[in-house]
Structure 1
Amino acid sequence: MNRKLSGGAALVIAGVFVAGVFVYNSARMSSYQASMQQPPAPQATKTPTVAVVTVSPATYRAEVTGSGSVTAQYELTLNSRVSGQVQSVAAAFDAGQWVKAGTALAQLDDSQLKADVESARNALATAQVSYLEEQQSYDQAREEWAISGISDDPLSPLVLREPQLKAAQAEVDSARLTLEAAQRDLDSATIVAPFDAVVVSRSIAPGSYVQAGGELGSLLGAERVDISVPLSASQWAALPAEAELLSDNYPVSLIASDSAGSTDGLKDTAQWTGYVRHTGKHLDTSTRQRSLIASVDQPLTQATPLFPGTFVNVSLKGAEMSGLWQLPASALSQRGEIWTVSDDNLLAAWPAQVKFSDNQHIYVTPVGDQTDGAHVLVQPLSSYSTGMSVNPQQENSDGE
């Protein structure tokens, strides 16, 4: 009897529990469905803070920059004018040596060349004797013709020996030229530097034989170096007139590209001052740019020698340009735009017309309606959009 009551009680308790769970779950489901039907609570929009600079149009002097490789004024493969065996080679005729114009670099055997000079000198003396004899015959013939009393000219110029005298004079002239050529050949047996140069290589040694036209070595001119600097059309527009560029050695600053921005002291020494030598008169077919040629005289005697092959950054002052904004370089977006903030704190994007730039700034034509006292973003982000509301925070023009 008690067992039956206990089993019934358990069934009643279990039924009550199941019913309670059902009622609880039904209430939870109803509450969830009701919450899903309600609109979400509005969230407050966060206004981004942006850094801006306030700018006004002003006049700035352009600075045009470029780069190029230093090349020697002359690059020469030194050849021999005459044939001969190399008797000696000067110590200066070695790779890396700096030689002055006229320095003897090598000596060829000149015994045959000396003989040629003496033979030519003898031929000239013989021709001169023949000319003097013919001159005497010519004078005598003219005197005899005058004594003859004949008033008419002779039937042939041979009578007065005019052609014979001209032929004798031609023989003298030819012999003199032959002697001069023989002397030049003799002088050429001594190989000399034709200009101040750096020896790049030497191709001969004592005892070697050189044919006329044979290679002796190679030289690079040391009197002047040139730097060809390609410039775009906008850079040319920022420069003064060509007449000013080519007058009074218009100054150009150069710095070795591998020392630019260094902190080991090279930046203070690897700098040079050159000048504009001339301007290119054609466009490069691949870059469609025109080059400005800068030069440095006596490059190897500078405080820091400027060697051919050095790659340098070049800068020179341009013309003064008025009505421009000076902006941090970071103000130019990746799409070539600058962004302004209106009085209502709304963003606007404008295509940038960059007139020139330097290491820290760009100089652009003003945009928008409020060109004086305009607020320009220091660093626009790609996520910004036109009309976006922002909270501008003022910075100075140096970004501090």
Structure 2
Amino acid sequence: MSSTRNRILVVALPVGAILISALLILRRPEPPRMPPPDRVATVTTEAVRPGSGAIPVLGNGTVRPRAEVELAAQVGGRAQWVSPSLVSGGRVRAGEVLVRIEQADYLNAVAQARAQVAQDSVAILQAEEESRIARDEYEQFRARRGSEAGEPSPLVLREPQLQAARASLARSIAQLADAELALARTELRAPFDGMVRSETVDPGSLVAVGQGVARLFATDVVEVVVPLSDVDAAVIPGLWELRPGDAVDRVAARVVVDYGGRRYAWDGWVDRAETALDEQSRTIDVVVRVADPLRPGAPVETGVDAGDPPPLLVGQYVEVQISGRSGDYQVVPRRALRPGNEVWAVADSVVRIVPVRVLQQAGDSVFVEGRFEAGESVIVAGTTLATDGMRVRRAG
């Protein structure tokens, strides 16, 4: 009996387990059905801005003076007087006396030269009178002797003595001019309107011939050398036809500086382009000039306190904006420009690949030429791959 019960349990237990498992499987809840993931990319777009006019060319450079010279003495002596303006940062005017060297020796030299001129002037009058008397005497002699008198020699007429007197007077006049020139050179004058960069002379110090006493730079005009790539330089109209100092065919430019948390600007022009490439950067140096740099700069931001506008300082690092050639163009964000000079345009959630010609990159904007349609925007983020006709969804 016991063995029969055991056999029934051996068979019943597995069968029961199978039945219970089947019942649980049949009564399990259905899993929720989820829609397949959306494969349409969500992208960020920005508008295309059409424009026309001059395309800006942006660059940077350091302000340098138009001219800088070392003021040196042409005569030697002791510095008798030094102008109060001759200090580092001092402003000077063209022709202003900056250093006066002691003049006593040079005044004496002028006086001696004038005395010699007066003496030689008397000598030439005497020589002319003696020559006239000698000619009169010869004429009387020839009147008595007739043809036997012959032609007189220059010595008889005292012509060599007259020529020597005239030469002596010419030499004395030249010596007087040299003495007066040396006297004038005892005053060292500013060659142009400018500022003093440094000075090395004080009253009482001994100045030698050729010794530099100060460094001056001109302040009527300053220059900014802007290194540009060939792509940027090609946008400047008539760059290679510009002539230094030409006041007619000028390309407008603007110099902007940051000072005290504000931005100030000065109007200028492109003066010339240097015809030698920089050997290291392979860039073209374009020279921009600004007149009257000591005038206060104009505030760039409107509607804010102008503060205390500074002058345009020599040695300052500045931003330069040059007016490029005029025409029609589109402005797109820099992030929209793709390798191969392509832009992914979007209209009605459909992508269109637009080839463009890059005219200029300025900050976060790119000036391009391309066939954009009305209402199109450009993709700036959200996908790294796009094809013509691909559908996208705009963020936001």
Same structural fold, with TM-score higher than 0.5 when normalized by the shorter chain: yes
Q: CA RMSD in A?
A: 3.9
* Deviation per residue, 1:198-220 (Å, 9 max, x gap): 11222122222111111212112
User: Are the equivalent residues in 1 in contact too, given 2:222–2:291 (CA < 8 A)?
Assistant: yes
User: Are the equivalent residues in 1 in contact too, given 2:347–2:377 (CA < 8 A)?
Assistant: no
TM-score between both structures, scaled by the size of structure 2: 0.74
Q: Secondary structure at the match of 1:283?
A: coil
1 CA distance for matches of 2:150 and 2:339?
97
Which residue pairs with 2:109 in the alignment?
Answer: 116
Q: Is residue 192 from structure 1 mapped to residue 189 from structure 2 by the alignment? A: yes
Percent pairwise identity: 26
1 CA distance for matches of 2:394 and 2:349?
14
2 CA distance for matches of 1:55 and 1:339?
11
Equivalences for 1:121-140 in 2 at 5 Å? Answer: 121-140=114-133
1 CA distance for matches of 2:178 and 2:364?
64
TM-score between both structures, scaled by the size of structure 1: 0.73
2 CA distance for matches of 1:171 and 1:191?
32
User: Are the equivalent residues in 1 in contact too, given 2:237–2:251 (CA < 8 A)?
Assistant: no
User: Are the equivalent residues in 2 in contact too, given 1:326–1:364 (CA < 8 A)?
Assistant: yes
2 CA distance for matches of 1:155 and 1:339?
108
Which residue pairs with 2:368 in the alignment?
Answer: 364
Equivalenced residues, count: 354
Q: Is residue 345 from structure 1 mapped to residue 342 from structure 2 by the alignment? A: no
1 CA distance for matches of 2:228 and 2:344?
28
2 CA distance for matches of 1:378 and 1:98?
56
1 CA distance for matches of 2:43 and 2:173?
89
Which residue pairs with 2:211 in the alignment?
Answer: 214
For residue 65 of structure 1, what is the amino acid of its counterpart?
L
Which residue pairs with 1:35 in the alignment?
Answer: none
For residue 309 of structure 1, what is the amino acid of its counterpart?
G
2 CA distance for matches of 1:77 and 1:55?
55
Change (3 A) 1:143 1:356: farther
Which residue pairs with 2:265 in the alignment?
Answer: 271
Change (3 A) 1:58 1:309: closer
For residue 284 of structure 2, what is the amino acid of its counterpart?
R
Structure 2 unaligned blocks of 5 or more: 26-33, 298-309
User: Are the equivalent residues in 2 in contact too, given 1:49–1:390 (CA < 8 A)?
Assistant: no
2 CA distance for matches of 1:228 and 1:220?
17
Which residue pairs with 2:31 in the alignment?
Answer: none
For residue 169 of structure 1, what is the amino acid of its counterpart?
R
Which residue pairs with 2:30 in the alignment?
Answer: none
Which residue pairs with 2:334 in the alignment?
Answer: 329
1 CA distance for matches of 2:388 and 2:119?
103
Change (3 A) 1:342 1:92: closer
1 CA distance for matches of 2:335 and 2:52?
21
Q: CA deviation at 1:80?
A: 1.0
Which residue pairs with 1:299 in the alignment?
Answer: 293
Structure 1 unaligned blocks of 5 or more: 32-40, 396-400
For residue 275 of structure 1, what is the amino acid of its counterpart?
W
Q: CA deviation at 1:98?
A: 1.0
Which residue pairs with 2:220 in the alignment?
Answer: 223
* Deviation per residue, 1:151-204 (Å, 9 max, x gap): 999585555555544443333233222212211222222232222221122212
1 CA distance for matches of 2:357 and 2:151?
90
User: Are the equivalent residues in 1 in contact too, given 2:236–2:324 (CA < 8 A)?
Assistant: yes
